[in-house]
């Protein structure tokens, strides 16, 4: 049963006309040490984003099975990337980000976890300069595309992904979809305000305001990626959008680790995970990696 506090926002997004324009983020590169520290503090793996991290780590793990090299666009402090790399030690990951402060924290985080299958590089995800054509087996990105300043930059990013990805390579891109109403943005941005620094809530609001439309993402995916690449979103309300290739089989040891991580979630984070699973399943996302796992 989805969280009942979501129902008013869900109904609002169903019935209202779109009134929310896109507002690019005021700081296109988060490099202020205080802001980076607040973002990292609230966003680490055991915080309010725990459910989202586990959801995407499981889904990305399904997509990248059989890959040798994976490029993560906009890796930030590498909280998400480190979890994925830990789950998939046989794959080599490269995280790319424009912010030196974020990358410094990412390096520290990966080192603290003892991860030896991640490297980092500074770069612009819209151009991917320095990444050789058709050189990576998979490209992933979680909650980073909205940082791009314009729709043209998003198109440049998709074109660059096509350039660096090997033919038949794996793909998993996820980000916010722009909501219709400012009231909906405020609800999602501040629903966990009591559990996180104010700057994190404010950054969340700015991120939602900067989101691209699902229809814009779909159009670019159709233009630059093969027909087998699918675009799915949360049901009726594209709060989250995923662009992905087909899922692969998860071996039992990895499924067991994911099940253990799910059981370790705090009750309210488990509810958040189940909400994501439900709304994405209703939106057409299949092959739920948690479906056959014991609660």
Residues of the chain with pLDDT under 70: 1-2, 28-46, 293-295
Cβ density class 239-276: b for 16+ within 10 Å, e for less: bbbbbbbebeebeeebbebbbebbeebeeebbebbbbb
Q: Topology of 4-12+26-282 in CATH?
A: Rossmann fold (3.40.50)
pLDDT in tens, 135-190: 999 999 999 999 999 999 999 999 999 999 999 999 999 999 999 999 999 999 99
pLDDT in tens, 77-105: 999 999 999 999 999 999 999 999 999 99
- Indicate whether this model's pTM tops 0.75: yes
Beta-carbon contacts of residue 196 (< 8 Å; ≥ 6 apart)? 42, 47, 48
Secondary structure letter of residue 4 according to DSSP: G
> How much is the pLDDT for 120?
98
Domain ranges of the chain: 4-12+26-282
Strand partners, 97: 122
Strands (E), the chain: 69-73, 92-97, 118-122, 136-142, 165-176, 230-233, 240-244
């Amino acid at each position: 049963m989805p969280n009942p506090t979501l129902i008013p926002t869900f109904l609002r997004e169903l019935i209202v006309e779109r009134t929310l324009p896109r507002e690019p983020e005021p700081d296109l590169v988060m490099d202020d040490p205080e802001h980076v520290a607040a973002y990292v503090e609230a966003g680490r793996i055991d915080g309010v984003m725990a459910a989202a991290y586990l959801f995407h780590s499981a889904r990305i793990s399904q997509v990248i099975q059989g890959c040798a090299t994976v490029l993560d666009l906009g890796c930030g402090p590498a909280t998400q990337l480190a979890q994925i790399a830990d789950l998939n030690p046989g794959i080599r990951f490269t995280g790319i980000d424009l912010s030196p402060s974020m990358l410094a924290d990412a390096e520290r985080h990966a080192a603290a976890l003892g991860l030896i299958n991640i490297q980092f590089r500074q770069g612009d995800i819209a151009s991917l300069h320095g990444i050789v054509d058709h050189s990576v087996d998979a490209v992933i990105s979680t909650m980073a595309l909205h940082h791009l300043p314009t729709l043209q930059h998003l198109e440049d990013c998709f074109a660059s992904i096509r350039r660096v990805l090997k033919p038949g390579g794996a793909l998993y891109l996820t980000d916010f979809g722009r909501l219709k109403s400012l009231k909906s943005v405020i609800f999602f941005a501040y629903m966990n305000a009591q559990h996180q620094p104010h700057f994190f809530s404010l950054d969340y609001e700015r991120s939602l305001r900067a989101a691209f439309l699902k229809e814009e993402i779909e159009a670019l995916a159709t233009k630059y990626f093969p027909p087998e690449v699918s675009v799915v979103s949360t049901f009726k309300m594209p709060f989250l959008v995923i662009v992905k290739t087909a899922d692969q089989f998860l071996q039992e040891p990895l499924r067991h680790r994911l099940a253990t991580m799910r059981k370790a979630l705090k009750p309210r984070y488990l509810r958040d995970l189940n909400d994501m699973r439900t709304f994405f399943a209703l939106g057409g996302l299949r092959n739920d990696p948690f479906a056959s796992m014991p609660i």
